[in-house]
């Protein structure tokens, strides 16, 4: 039966929580495989771009493996993509991270670092915590977050966050110690989260299931 299901590739560029993402996919019945091969990506029916770590290292690895152009070609041609944490950040134009340069530029915007201080108050960076996400777009109910309640908790671990040039792609926002940031996005065939659904208990796993259902992957 699995051979009849659409094929999802979890992109391996040597950074990220690949196996927890694969386990989440297996749990909901997504026919997913981990691969760093350009050919596999080009043949995939959908893509998952996870990641934890430095933006500059991630982009260097994607370019070295010639996966940057493969991802851009597939997404531009309508292939569904699910970005997670660093995988969301890589979709944007550029990062403030020292020496990072450009991202995939599929969504205009920049990656900003949390400030060390806000109004003379220190902020702990990185943001490692369960934190709430709240609705910013009416697309919530039609998105992979349809089973998530407003202000439900999700698991975050990051020092940087995305700042889209056009907020029409912002699906949810989150407040961290007085800094409001974009915690998920949706734009055409792209869905991405700053938080880790696969580490966010049953509600997080439901996001994988709903993303698969929306894109006819089950």
What H or E segment, with its residue span, contains residue 134? strand 134-135
- CA dihedral (123, 128, 134, 135) positive or negative: positive
Q: Is 127 annotated as catalytic?
A: no
- Check if 158 is active-site: no
Which of 85, 97, 158, 169 is labelled catalytic? 85
* 159 contact partners, CB below 8 Å, separation of at least 6: 113, 114, 125, 126, 127
- The closest alpha carbon to 192, from 31, 176, 158, 113, belongs to 158
Question: Quick one: tokens of 80?
Answer: 């569904």
Phi first, then psi, for residue 40 (nearest 5°) are -65, -40
State yes or no: is 198 an active-site residue: yes
The active-site residue out of 25, 127, 158, 196 is 196
Which one of 25, 97, 182, 198 is the catalytic residue?
198
Separation between Cα atoms, residue 35 and residue 43, nearest integer Å = 12
Just list the catalytic residues: 85, 196, 198
């Amino acid at each position: 039966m699995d051979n009849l299901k659409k094929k999802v590739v979890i992109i391996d560029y040597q950074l990220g929580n690949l196996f927890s993402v694969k386990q989440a996919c297996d749990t909901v019945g997504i026919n997913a495989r981990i691969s760093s091969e350009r050919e596999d990506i080009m043949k995939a029916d959908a893509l998952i771009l996870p990641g934890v770590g430095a933006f500059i290292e991630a982009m260097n690895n994607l370019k070295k493996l010639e996966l940057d152009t493969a991802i851009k070609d597939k997404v531009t041609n309508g292939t569904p993509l699910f970005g997670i944490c660093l995988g969301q950040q890589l979709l944007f134009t550029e990062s403030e991270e020292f020496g990072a340069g450009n991202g995939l530029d599929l969504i205009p915007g920049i990656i900003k670092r949390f400030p060390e201080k806000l109004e003379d108050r220190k902020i702990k960076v990185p943001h490692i915590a369960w934190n709430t996400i709240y609705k910013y777009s009416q697309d919530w109910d039609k998105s992979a977050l349809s089973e998530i309640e407003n202000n439900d908790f999700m698991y975050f671990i990051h020092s940087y966050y995305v700042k889209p040039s056009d907020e029409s792609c912002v699906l949810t926002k989150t407040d961290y110690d007085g800094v409001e940031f974009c915690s998920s996005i949706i734009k055409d065939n792209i869905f991405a989260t700053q938080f880790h659904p696969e580490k966010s208990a049953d509600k997080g796993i439901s996001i994988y299931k709903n993303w698969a259902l929306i894109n006819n992957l089950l």
